[in-house]
Amino acid sequence: MPINTERIIRRFMQLVAIDAPSYNERAMADELTQQLLMLGVSVQEDDAGTVLGGSAGNLTARIPGSVDARPLLFSSHMDTVAPALGKQAILHEDGRITSAGNTVLGADDAAGLTAILEALTVLQEDKIPHRPLELLFPVAEEPYCQGSRLLDYAQFQSKEAYVLDLDGPVGHAALQAPTILYFRATFHGRAAHAGMAPEAGIHAICAAADAVEKLPMGAVDDDTTLNVGRIQGGLATNIVPDTCTAEGEIRGFRHTLVLHWMELVQRQFSQSSQRYGATLEMQTENRITAYEVVETSPVVERFQRACRITGLSSSFGKTFGGSDNNNLAQYGIQGIVLSSAMHNPHTTEEYTTAAELTALSQMTLALMMDLN
């Protein structure tokens, strides 16, 4: 396929150099808008940035097809996890691309952005027939897909999507992702002098600790994990703490089972607060909702064809992390998440390679060219 590897590397390094931490994607949004306008593609930006207190909104675009076929949606997010300021991509002699070691590289998700832009460039340059295409570049994906939660999904005509946002070898795709349910329990006790009148107090930290100790942590069944990741409470060593908060999450592939575990967590927190004479305040937030796509679905079969055309071995699995695809699924758009030439994401050891960026761009182009 007529993919330009030198252009891919140049574009990737250019995008990596743009600071785009979550909620501060303005520079990235402007660059993507400019590059799409150069391809003759008009871009719309919504008000997600205003709602989230960020600097930019979600970007969307529509590209008319040269053939009569159903539209397809392609998506990669604009933001990057910390440390994300001052990123510099370094191309090594063996084709490996890393950061300077003091930041993430940002292949998550600049690799996906690069592949989509390269595929669109080739379509235009070579006047290749293609179906109608829709693009989505969300903000604030890393903090639990906040940007795509605010989208007006009525604007999309696509019923199938490819989200380029997964680690692993190019040719792999995730067909299943979990529900992630956040909880925050606040135990209210009573302050007292810890030395002179401890019996007058109600120890909020003890109530919280009792609840955590009685709950299972880690993998609680084959599909679900439970974790209390943060506990905060107390003012001083000589005061019986009157407040303690415990925050955690439950994630699992079966949404109803996650809700069941949340009921058990709430019950235990309530029992522990009563045991110590404290009161309990619970907050929960369903951050993303589980989905699953079967291998016989058209969106998967098209991916397999694209892999064969580009000489890639296709494979499938599931991810215990979320993506914007979780939100697409809730609005009737069936998508899969593609491994996107990123390795060790969310660390300063993140890397990609020129060969993988090229393969990802070739596969993305093949998907856009598939007319079935």
Tens-digit pLDDT profile for residues 225-271: 999 999 999 999 999 999 999 999 999 999 999 999 999 999 999 99
Whole-structure pTM value = 0.94
User: Are 155 and 45 a contacting pair, CB within 8 Å?
Assistant: no
Q: What gap in Å lies between CA 30 and CA 137, rounded to an integer? A: 12
Q: φ and ψ at 299, to 5 degrees?
A: -65, -30
User: Are 196 and 202 a contacting pair, CB within 8 Å?
Assistant: no
Q: What number of other Cβ atoms are within 10 A of residue 136's Cβ?
A: 25
Residue 1 has pLDDT above 60, yes or no: no
Q: What gap in Å lies between CA 291 and CA 178, rounded to an integer? A: 7
Sheet strands (E) in 278-333: 279-288, 291-292, 315-318
Q: What gap in Å lies between CA 211 and CA 197, rounded to an integer? A: 25
- Summarize pLDDT for 289-334 with one digit per residue, the tens: 999 999 999 999 999 999 999 999 999 999 999 999 999 999 999 9
Q: What gap in Å lies between CA 253 and CA 320, rounded to an integer? A: 8
